[in-house]
Structure 1
Amino acid sequence: MVTDSLWTYNSPDWDDRAVTVKRGEVFTVVKDKFAVGNGHMYQIKSGLYITANPSYVRVYTK
């Protein structure tokens, strides 16, 4: 993450907030970027969803 904190979501719905995560946390993406409303999300290994907006998150590949 490149922002101080960020919401995660229980489902691919911007109104279904779960918990916040902090800068520096790293997540494993299990579902690549997909459209949700006017934005995009990733599904992460925990089953939660997170924004795919590059202003807030960075993707690293091996």
Structure 2
Amino acid sequence: MVEINHVLSLTDQSTYTPYESLVAYQEGRLEVANNPDKYSRIELSKGMFSITPLGERFREICL
């Protein structure tokens, strides 16, 4: 339905900034900071997605 590409990302990096405010991300940062023996870092996986031809057909029929 969709293709996800983690090699490509948006050129405007500020697009990803709101995700750093998410509770789950903040909790992850705290978990990493409090457990340096278990974790070395936290990072957002940036990428792009596109709708496949099957996804387009599904959208046309179902939505």
Q: Please, what TM-score do these two structures have when normalized by structure 1?
A: 0.20
Greater helix share, 1 or 2? 2
Greater strand share, 1 or 2? 1
Q: Which has the larger radius of gyration?
A: 2
Structure with larger RCO (C-alpha < 8 A, sep 6+): 2
